[in-house]
Amino acid sequence: MSQVSALTAQGLGKRYGSSWALQDCTLEIPPGSVTALVGPNGAGKTTLLQLAVGLSEPSAGGVLVFGRLPREEARSVLPRVGFVAQDHPLYKGFTIGETLKLGRKLNPSWDEEIAVRRIELLGLPSGKKVGKLSGGQQAQVALTLALAKQPELLLLDEPVASLDPLARREFLQSVMEVVADTGMTVILSSHIVADLERVCDHLVILSQSRVQLSGSIDDLLASHRLLTGPRTDSAAVARVHDVIRESHTERQSSLLVCARGHVYDSSWEQNEVDLEEIVLAYLGQRTVRVAEARPIGEAVRS
Amino acid sequence: MIWVSWRLQRTETVITAAIIALLAALLVPTGIIMANAYDRDGISACIRANGSDACGGVIRSFTSRFETVAGFTSWFTLVPGLIGVLLAASFVLELESGTYRLAWTQSITRRRWITTKLGTAIAAALVAALAMTLLITWWRAPFVRLEGRMENGAYDFEGTVAAGYALFALGLALAVGAVWRRTVPALVVAFVGYVAARIFVDTWLRQHFVAPISATWRELAGKGGPSGSPPAGLDHAWILNQYPSDRLGHHIDVKLGACFRAAGVHPGKVSCLVERAAVYSHVVYEPASRFWLFQGIETSLFGGIAVVLIGFAAWWTQSRR
């Protein structure tokens, strides 16, 4: 495996009209990782993935896939990237067999065996029209098309959003099998972290068009702590650690922090937090910032 | 990509072929009947003999017999537009339904996808236009020998213009569709645009390609001298205007009705016309010899605009961010 990262974004931004769909996005996806791209609807997940596969062009900064520009160097990037868009578009009038033929015609690195085996495993007759398949089956056909291309990077935009729980599980199972077999780098987006937690080892949180957090899930779990103690100001803790979210009752304060080293103050009771809590804390972060901003504004006025 | 492109355009291509087949089903039987009648009546011999009275009767009976069918075929002038617009559907449909995201994320470049898709649409449009031109040209052959092919009803189906019309409709639908990304409205708008452009060219622009020729001749012998004859080949020309005039070609408003009422019958009409000094005829026409010049100009006009429109659709889609 080369040292070039699968995907690098530097100050990446995308503007539609006057509003930014993605802003100041800097991140690096190591090869071989399986990354969950999490954020609420409209956070910029689709925009980021479309930029990575060259469907759109950056308005600011840049993105590199295996060290190359997806749009300008499409010829060398496209064969290495598999992409399944959110609504997994397929030609509805094609039969499954014709869909595979399309994949074969349009991809030099096409592996017919992978494709045929997957379709057989799914139990789908190759003469059937794609438009007549269920949503889950269509998603699987779209995934098959992306996988038989033998990409090194697989981008899946909200792959399970439109699927029922069973199809969801089957789809993710398929992805996990491929990852285990090939060591492919995968980025999956979702607005629900619980969907992806079992599958992923990296996490990127997007919210309000910006990257809020990015890193390996193990590191994130290790560095985030929930501190609970008698009611107090968070300032002392904030001098050393990053306070992501704080809540206070009359007697008690609880802080979710990203710890920069050990938390020494023994007045705090420390607890581990699970991934979902971390995600929710980062997604809700903005309201905290707004609350913090007010006293500063008053200070300036007085 | 070529297989994919044809497969995606299959429905449109089948419909186009069906339209041509339908034309053939209408035109081949009537065409055979017409050609037989033409031979049986000995019209070609008649034309060589250059118009005895008996011949005039034969020709008149032939034209009146097939006039209705010939008039009906003038509606076929919409067919190139229909075909052109239809063949744009596959391209616009991809942009509307979002399947372009599937196509553009395979291993081929966006440029190759665009050129192949546009190429298959252009190829189908040209083949269809050619087939239609050959079919109608064969069918109209007897009429062309009698009346020439400069008049609007014939000119639109002969030569190369139909290919230009089909490409123009295709280009217009592609350009509108590339920007709008809605298939049905884009196709409808493009078809209306096609009809408007054709009406404009047919009724106004075409006669200005080259300034028409005017001629005046003495229609009736009388005090002023013997009668003259109309310019040669006028029966094959496109006559833009013809009216009774004075010697200098100025229009004379002959109240024919008044003449008829006054005298009732033919000789009376003559004297009535003479009384009003309308013994000359003035004609404004485009001669048949300009046929290929006009065809060249009009094909380049529609073809040129089509190239610009198709190029615009390609550029717009390619540079979409």
Domain residues of chain B, as ranges? Answer: 2-209+292-318, 213-288
| A83/B105 Cβ within 8 A | yes
Nearest CA in chain A to B321: A56
Residues of A in contact with B108 (CB under 8 A): 78, 106
Question: What pLDDT, on a 0 to 100 scale, did the predictor assign at position A290?
Answer: 33
* Interface mutation vs chain A, best among B4, B13, B100, B102, most A CBs within 10 Å: B102
**How far, in Å, CA of A183 to CA of A31, rounded?**
9
Average pLDDT over residues A132-156: 94
Q: Residue A295 — very low, low, confident or very high, per pLDDT cuts 50/70/90?
A: very low
* Confidence bin at B1 (pLDDT 50/70/90): confident
pLDDT at position B187, please? 98
Contact A145 B105 (CB under 8 A): no
- Determine the pLDDT at residue B77: 93
Q: What residues of B are in contact with residue A78 (Cβ under 8 Å)?
A: 105-109
The pLDDT > 70 percentage for chain A reads 93
- The candidate with the shortest Cα–Cα distance to A142, out of A81, A62, A204, A88, is A88
Under DSSP, is residue B225 helix (H, G, I), strand (E, B) or coil?
Answer: strand
Q: Is the pLDDT of residue B15 over 80?
A: yes
Asked whether the beta carbons of residue A75 and residue B97 sit closer than 8 angstroms, the reply is: no
Q: Which residues of B touch A142 (CB under 8 A)?
A: 102
Range A181-210 average pLDDT? 88
Question: How much is the pLDDT for A45?
Answer: 93
Phi, psi (deg, nearest 5) at residue A252: -130, 145
For residues B152-162, average pLDDT: 91
Alpha-carbon gap: B31 to the closest alpha carbon of chain A (Å): 39
* Å between A214 CA and nearest CA of chain B: 26
Q: What is the DSSP string of B23-90?
A: HHHHHHHHHHHHHHHHHHTTHHHHHHHT--HHHHHHHHHHHHHHHHHHHHHGGGGGHHHHHHHHHTHH
Q: Which of A212-216, B71-75, B130-134, B266-270 has the lowest mean pLDDT?
A: B266-270
Q: Do A91 and B102 touch (CB under 8 A)?
A: yes
Residues of B in contact with A106 (CB under 8 A): 1, 4, 103, 106-108
More confidently predicted of A177 and A95: A95
> If you average pLDDT over each of B26-35, B68-77, B116-125, which comes out highest?
B116-125
> In chain A, where are the structural domains located?
7-208, 219-301
Which of B3, B99, B321 lies at the smallest CB-CB distance from A91?
Answer: B99
Angle formed at CA A163 by CA A81 and CA B108, multiple of 5 degrees? 20
Average pLDDT over residues B186-207: 97
pLDDT tens readout for residues A61-85: 999 999 999 999 999 999 999 999 9
At A249, is the pLDDT very low, low, confident or very high (cuts 50, 70, 90)?
A: confident
B1 to chain A: which residues are within 8 Å by CB? 105-106
Domain A7-208, CATH among 3.30.70.360, 3.40.50.150, 3.40.50.700, 3.40.50.300: 3.40.50.300
Residue A256: pLDDT over 60: yes
pLDDT at B218 over 90: no
Tens-digit pLDDT profile for residues A1-56: 446 899 999 999 999 999 999 999 999 999 999 999 998 888 899 999 999 999 99
How many percent of chain B have pLDDT more than 90? 63
Per the structure block, which two tokens stand in for B185?
């409205």
- Which of A83-97, B158-172, B189-203, B257-271 comes out lowest in average pLDDT? B257-271
State residue B189's pLDDT score: 98
Averaged over A176-195, what is the pLDDT?
88
Q: Nearest-CA residue of chain A relative to B2?
A: A105
A298: pLDDT strictly greater than 50: no
How deeply is A127 buried, as exposed, middle or buried, from its count of CB atoms within 10 A (0-12, 13-18, 19+)?
exposed
List C-alpha distances in Å: B285 to A94, B214, B229, B280, B281: 55, 6, 15, 16, 13
B21 Cα to chain A: minimum distance (Å)? 25
Q: Report how far residue B294's alpha carbon sits from residue B161's, in angstroms, rounded to the nearest whole number.
A: 9
Residue of A49, A57, A71, A105 to mutate, testing the B interface (most B Cβ within 10 Å of its Cβ): A105
What confidence category does residue A292 fall into, taking pLDDT thresholds of 50, 70 and 90?
very low
- Which stretch of B163-177, B228-242, B290-304 has the lowest confidence by average pLDDT? B228-242
Nearest CB among B11, B99, B110 relative to A74 is that of B110
List of chain A residues whose C-beta atoms are within 8 Å of the C-beta of residue B11: 93
**Tokens in use for B134?**
């050959």
Of A74, A78, A105, which is closest to B4 when you measure between CB atoms? A105
Residues of B in contact with A85 (CB under 8 A): 98, 101-102, 105
Task: Compute the distance between CA of residue B120 and CA of residue B114 in angstroms, rounded to an integer.
Answer: 10
pLDDT digits (tens, 9 = 90+) for B237-253: 999 998 888 788 888 77
Average pLDDT over residues B147-172: 93
Q: Are B194 and B165 in contact (CB under 8 A)?
A: yes
Q: Does residue A291 carry a pLDDT above 60?
A: no
- What is the model's pTM? 0.88
Asked if A187 and A31 count as a contact pair (C-beta separation under 8 A), the reply is: no
8 Å CB contact of A108 and B321: no
State chain A's mean pLDDT as an integer.
Answer: 87
Tokens of A94: 């094609």
**DSSP E strands: which ranges in B100-208?**
none
The pLDDT value given to residue A301: 36
B interface with A, Cβ–Cβ below 8 Å: 1, 3-4, 7-8, 11, 97-99, 101-110, 321
Nearest CB to B98: which of A82, A87, A102?
Answer: A87
Q: Is B230 exposed, middle or buried (0-12, 13-18, 19+ CB in 10 A)?
A: middle
Q: What is the pLDDT of residue A299?
A: 35
Are residues A85 and B97, on separate chains, in Cβ contact within 8 Å? no
**How far is B253 from A184, CA to CA, in rounded Å?**
89
Mean pLDDT of A119-141: 93
Q: Which site among B7, B11, B107 would you substitute to test the A interface, given the most A Cβ atoms closer than 10 Å to its Cβ? A: B107
User: pLDDT band at B278, cuts 50/70/90?
Assistant: low
Q: Which of B4, B101, B104 sits opposite A102 (nearest CB)?
A: B4
> Which residues of chain A approach chain B closer than 8 Å at the C-beta?
53-57, 74-75, 78-79, 81-83, 85, 87, 89-91, 93-94, 98, 101-103, 105-109, 142, 145, 149
pLDDT tens track for A266-290? 888 888 898 888 888 888 765 433 3
| Count of positions (residues) in chain A | 302
Mean pLDDT of chain B: 88
pLDDT at B265: 52
pLDDT computed for residue B264 by the predictor? 52
Lowest mean pLDDT among A124-138, A174-188, A256-270, B217-231: B217-231
The minimum CA-CA distance between B126 and chain A, rounded to whole Å, is 26
Res A302 pLDDT > 50: no
**Substitution target from A55, A73, A158 for chain B, most B beta carbons within 10 A:** A55
